[in-house]
Structure 1
């Protein structure tokens, strides 16, 4: 009997995202720079950013693996305080294997969120394979769960919510987050800090 997506989600300790089409809507804006070279810009969803804070409060470790190299992504990843940042990865599986070793986890404790065929090698082996609503058909058919929202419109948050809900910590983590934002709670040092 195969495990349900919820059963798989209960084991997850690390969640890794592809970037283009997952944390963004997949559009890449190239703005001409003064030197004649293009400056790349992407749009990221605030819902995903807050979701990453919730993931950390829930004890999940978070990272990205992307085929492209982008300064925009480096800035956003730093902004989100991501633990695992792999850019310029043509063979994403080797990056995943490094993360598994660094995190000291088994492959079935890693969730990956992808949208296109370059993500398939990881999606086929990881513990919880998640496709975004906008993912290619080949990707959706290889995944255990598909997010209600497309990339760049909250798919990352959907993935995190799904895992935390399965682990029974979503409501607690939300309250913890709200408490940490409360100045009175901060003064009383009830907030978790470490964001």
Structure 2
């Protein structure tokens, strides 16, 4: 089955975070209390893409092994439906998501970049790897994005799915429609400021 054919069936899209929605770098800034403050950079293209995906009917979330306040803030900004942090075995979270959404694993897309993502990617309906993914991950991916993680790979994945489903242009026009209240509030993040 082609990647496009697989994409037509996708209802839920789950991203890894580090190396997929970020470039994989983790900045630790020393705090005055002796603890570090973690900072990451996220791509605005991915954020807008998540809004488009949601408007196109996708249910979207993240699963990551790390625990990060930065990720929690960004997930809140993006209005992600599924947010799982501290997940050493990501299939546990996937099984929970499948139970909540009442879909089969063939209707789930997962975007990952490293070996921790392999168990999910081996089973899901559409496995996507960003351009900077490890070789083992690219080898099993159904689709490899043109852009690297943290530089639009998430948007590439969403555009690929919506394009295969024949809804990308419609969703873009809906987003641009000044009278659409959904579009006006789709990606208004505040960064918890």
- Scaled by the length of structure 1, the TM-score of the pair is 0.93
User: Matched residues in 2 for 1:192 and 1:90: separation?
Assistant: 35
Contact 1:9–1:167 under 8 Å retained in 2:
yes
Take 2:22 and 2:103, find their aligned partners in 1: how far apart are those partners? Answer: 28
Aligned to 1:54: 52
Where structure 1 has 5 or more consecutive residues not aligned to the other structure, the ranges are none
Deviation at 1:97, TM superposition (A): 0.7
Tell me the SS of whatever aligns to 1:81: coil
Q: Which residue of 1 aligns with 2:152?
A: 154
SS of equivalent to 1:141: helix
User: Residue 74 of structure 2 aligns with which residue?
Assistant: 76
Counterpart check, 1:43 vs 2:41: yes
Q: Which residue is 2:9 aligned to? A: 11
Tell me the CA shift for residue 192 of structure 1. 3.3
Residue 66 (1) aligns with residue 64 (2) = yes
Q: TM-score if structure 2 supplies the norm length? A: 0.94
* 1:11-64 deviation line (CA, Å, top 9, x unaligned): 000000000000000000000001011000000000000000000110000000
User: Which protein shows a greater Rg?
Assistant: 1
Deviations, residues 76-123 of structure 1 (Å, cap 9, x unaligned): 000000000000000001101110111111100000000000000000
Contact 1:6 1:163 in 2 (8 A): yes
| Aligned match for 1:192, one of 157, 169, 182 | 182
Q: Secondary structure at the match of 1:111?
A: strand
